[in-house]
Structure formats: C-alpha cells, structure tokens
Structure 1
Amino acid sequence: MYNLFEPGDLLNSPYEALLFDTEKHSFPVRSHWHHYMEIILMVEGTAIVENDEKKYLLHPGDMAALPPKSIHAIWNEVGKDEHLLYYVIKFDLNRFRENIGYVPQLKSAVLQAMENPEVSFFFSAKELIGFPVVEFINGCVKEAQSMHYGYYMIMYSYLNCLLVNILRIWRRRGFTPSYEVSAPSGSSIETITEYIDAHSDQPLKVEQLAIRCNMSYSFFAKQFRQIYGRSCKEYIEYIRVIKTEDMLLYTDYDMTYISQAAGFSDCSHMIKTFRKYKNITPKQFRMQNTKGSRGLSTPLL
C-alpha cells in the first residue's frame, strides 16, 4: 500500500510552479500530503478539490489554498471527464517568517487561519476581482519555466504578494491574524506524521508515539492537537480512512483485505470508522463511485 506522504526537497526546491494539464499529467490526483503549502487556480474546466474533510468545487478563476500537511486530492466533477487546466504553486511556508511593519509574519498568519474553523481557504473568481493574484501566479510559473538568473528571488517576491493579497481577502471577510511569531519547525512532533503515514497498517499507540518524540503522553497529546487540530488518535483514524477510500476507488480488493491493509483491527472496525468520517459505509462508497469519477459524501463549500 502506498504512503500518502509525498517527499519534497524543501532545501533545494522551496518553490515549484506549473500549469497542470490533465492530458499531459496523471489524473485524478490521488490523496496525498506534503510539507509545502499549495495554491490551485482553475483555468479551464471544473474540478473538485478535497482538502482534509472539506470539498471545494472550482470553476475557472476560482482558487483554493491548501495548507502544509493537509491531505488533499483533485478529480473531475461527478459524471464529467472534461479536460482540465489549472495552475499549481507549491512553496515552503517556513521561508515567509519576516515581520514588516504592522503586517503579521506570513507563516504565522496562515497557521492562525488553519486553527480557525471559520476561515475558508476557498476564493471564488468573483471574490478575487481587484486582487492581482492571477498576475502573481502566472509570474511564478513563467519564472519556474525560464529558470533565468535569480528566478527564485522573483518567485519569492511574487509569493509574498500573493500571500499578502490572501490576507487582505481574509481581512475583508472579518479575520485579522494577530501579530505573533511562529516557532521554528523541525521538532520531532512536526515529523511524527510521516511515521504515522508509513506505519498506519500496523498497530499504533499514542503512548509509543509520545516516547518517539521524547515527550510525556499528556504533553504530546496537547501539542499534537494544537499543531494538527485533532487528537493523535483521530489523526491515525483519518489516515486509515483516506487509505481505505483510495483502495475502494482504485483497486478491486475485498473489504477484509482493505481493512487489514489500512490498519484496522477488523472489517467491522473499518466500517464504523469510515462511516464516522464519510457518513457512508465503504461498500456504499464504492458503489456510488467509479474510477476517475468520485461522488460527494460531504457538502461542497
């Protein structure tokens, strides 16, 4: 079974940008996560973007921001197999740690937005009118393609402009992040999710994960919820549900095999947990979905 984690070279490739063409790239984009923040701007066609437990329907001109470590997937609208074009920008949010004037640290602002359930990372084409985000995204793609001297510096400038415009939209919506500095990344608890992903088919105990991070159980549990917005037990369950969903969509494995491969104790445990997160049983989910065309078991935002 594949891991959801998608490795990336944050040190040597902190920024990536391209125009994704479903006729040239593998599609649909299966569930995965990485340490980059990702921006999706729809150009042609209509796509569904799933980000953790939220789903967005993107029409041309719509944009979605996918925070670091969020589990996301992209596929066609149900019943359609149309050609899609969309911009993809990926960047290391840790590079944006400067405080300038009264504008909060950009990394800190995004992290605060992630912790606030009222803040949406979906931006409609109508809402983006007056904000030159297309110009900045297109500029990033052109620089990434040309790779001319200093292109990383130009991309960094464009991304700063893009993030500040996102903050302006959030402020218009009523969310203003506080002026605070985020802690440096790299601690063991910030990489424990890679271990969970790679070992999700095995028995995982929160107590053992706390020991791996050299923390007490209570401190680890508190820190994990603060960073990831859910308990460690819930995170393990969610990873297993996403892998179950992937096998239901892209394999012909039976329910017993899937439950074991995903790390559930038995088939009934898988069914109960899957229903908890998807409001539908695994069997019903498979029946309602076909390869390359996925139904919506949760409302679109």
Structure 2
Amino acid sequence: MNNLFEKQDSLNSPIETFLFDTEKNPFPVKQHWHYFAEFIYILSGKVAVTCDGKAYTVSEGELFLFYPSSVHSIHSACDGTILFSGLKFDTVKFPNTSSYAPSATAILRYARTNDMQIHFSREQSERLKCKEIFAECVKEGEHYLYGRDIMMRAYIYRLIFGIVREWTTQGLDMNKCPVNSADIYGIENITEYIDSRLEDNIRVADIAEICHMSYSGFAAKFREQYGMSCKEYIERMRIFKAEEYLLFTDHDMTFISQKTGFADCSHFIRSFKKYRDQTPKQFRLKNKQHS
C-alpha cells in the first residue's frame, strides 16, 4: 500500500480545488490513497470509480466521496472527454463548530464504520447544491482574496452537513457519533489537537502520549507523515497564525506572540525571521503596502 501513497501538503494547502479535463490532464487516475478526504462532481461524461475494492459508475451530475485513506482510482466509462470538479481537504482542519456537532474527522470515520452511501445520485447532488458549491470553491481557489480560506471551509461544511442529512434519512444515528474526537486521535489526525492548542505550551512528549505511542515511535511516524518534526510543525503553524494577525489586525508584537504560543516577543521575532527571512514588522509593512 505504501507505493500507492500520494502525499498532500496539509501545512500549506489544507484545501485543494481542481477542474479535471481528460484532454488536458493525465488520465486515467491510477490507484492511490492519501490522508485527505476527497469529493468529485462529474460535470460531463461518465467515469468508472474503484474505491476500497468496490466498483461504481458515476455519471454527469453525480457526486462521489472518497474517505481519508481509501484506495481509489478513476477511469473512463464513456467515449469522449470527461470533465469533473474536485475538492480535497484535510479533515483535521475542520473541527467541531458547535457544542453538539462532531468534527469532520469524527463524522467521516463514523459514517465509514456504518458503511454509509458515498455515491450520490443527480437528484441528491441537486439537493446538496453541488454545482454551486464546487464552482464557488474552484473560483475561491483561483483568487487569494481576503477570507478565502473561511469561504472555502464554509462551502465544504455546507456539503458535509448536507450529506449528513442524507445519511440520517438512511438511518444513521448522529447521536452516537462522538462530538469530541479526543478519544480517537492517531498520527493521521493529531494535527487537529495541535492546531487547537497553539496558544498553549504543548510538548511533543504529551502529544505522543495522546496517540498512545512512544516518543521515538511518534517522532518517526510524524516525520514520515508530515515531512518534518512535530516541533517544527508546531512552530510553522504558529508562524502561519501570526501572519494572519500581522496582515489583518493592528495588534502589537507582544500581543501576537502571546496569542500564537511563543515564549516571549523575542522568541517570536527570532522564529519568524528564521522561516520568513524578515522580521514580523517588515512582513507587515511590506504586505500592507501591496494590499
């Protein structure tokens, strides 16, 4: 299975949108798997999909869901050009948004355990507003406008919970789905825990314990999965969070360093310069001049 693995850049691109044209893109899409969830929506033509050993024929106007870590492929099932739109996203970047709604990770894991529907008809796709959602996500993906990530997340949440409503009509009891995924953390979704605690003094040893792994085993697995150490991941995510404060607020460096988990302002400036080759103040000035 390892040679089928397709690495995704969760750190820099937790959401990916694309338009796939079989005349322009390499096709068929051979068997592979990744840690992202993926939706495809067929705009024209018909495809033959395999997913975890099962075969499906997905036609124009229909939607298909690939769970995280599912082995899948896409081949032609018709003559002529095929066009489909796609959404890939890291489910750990979609935590629970209310006191009762589970996270995307928990929802998809629960649905998969219950063998819920993953191929949705044209009629269902119309109810889910797939054409609109995919078009807007692709448009947002092409332009880096203010609030882009929030808009894309909103559309994806809308699609996920629309599907949840379809599943509940088919008998899925969402009352049994864990709201808090703290009890199901593994190497593939531990970043959900990390991202929610960037302000805190989180230690790698504590994170390893949450995953029920030894420190050395966790460190090796984390590097294999994310291409960097856990400590570096934490620092990089703090830098990304700091950039949002620098670009979209007028808070001073002390406030930002506290809100992003750095020990003090000096530590924040040193780390920022290490990754961005400029100070936070220079970054803010340069980008506000260009905005």
**1:69 is matched with which residue?**
69
Identify which range, 121-130 or 67-76, moves more after superposition: 121-130
- TM-score, length basis structure 1: 0.58
- For the residue of structure 2 that corresponds to 1:64, the secondary structure is strand
Q: After the TM superposition, which residues 93-112 of structure 1 pair with which residues of structure 2 at under 5 Å, given as runs?
A: 93-112=91-110
What is the deviation of 1:127?
2.2
- For the residue of structure 2 that corresponds to 1:183, the secondary structure is helix
Distance (whole Å) between structure 2 residues aligned to residue 110 and residue 24 of structure 1? 32
**1:171 is matched with which residue?**
168
**2:181 is matched with which residue?**
182
Distance (whole Å) between structure 2 residues aligned to residue 18 and residue 184 of structure 1? 33
* 1:37-65 deviation digits (Å, cap 9, x = unpaired): 00010110000111112222111111010
Aligned pair count reads 191
What is the deviation of 1:109?
1.3
Distance (whole Å) between structure 1 residues aligned to residue 147 and residue 94 of structure 2? 18
Distance 1:88 1:189, change over 3 A: closer
Identify which range, 46-55 or 27-36, moves more after superposition: 46-55
Distance (whole Å) between structure 1 residues aligned to residue 183 and residue 13 of structure 2? 19
Is 1:157 matched with 2:154?
Answer: yes
Distance (whole Å) between structure 2 residues aligned to residue 214 and residue 53 of structure 1? 33
The answer to which structure has the higher helix fraction is 2
**2:130 is matched with which residue?**
133
- For the residue of structure 1 that corresponds to 2:161, the secondary structure is helix
What is the deviation of 1:179?
4.3
1:86 corresponds to which of 81, 84, 90: 84
What is the deviation of 1:165?
0.5
Give the superposed CA RMSD.
2.5
What is the deviation of 1:186?
6.9
**1:204 is matched with which residue?**
none
Q: Matched residues, percent identical?
A: 33
Distance (whole Å) between structure 1 residues aligned to residue 64 and residue 120 of structure 2? 6
Distance 1:144 1:113, change over 3 A: same
Identify which range, 121-130 or 25-34, moves more after superposition: 121-130
**2:46 is matched with which residue?**
46
- For the residue of structure 1 that corresponds to 2:127, the secondary structure is coil
Q: After the TM superposition, which residues 256-295 of structure 1 pair with which residues of structure 2 at under 5 Å, given as runs?
A: none
- For the residue of structure 2 that corresponds to 1:6, the secondary structure is coil
- For the residue of structure 2 that corresponds to 1:56, the secondary structure is strand
The unaligned stretches of length 5 or more in structure 2 are 191-212, 216-291
- Larger Rg computed on CA atoms: 2
- TM-score, length basis structure 2: 0.60
1:116 corresponds to which of 110, 114, 117: 114
- For the residue of structure 1 that corresponds to 2:24, the secondary structure is coil
Would you say the 8 A contact 1:47–1:76 is kept in 2? yes
What amino acid is aligned across from residue 18 of structure 2 in structure 1? Answer: L
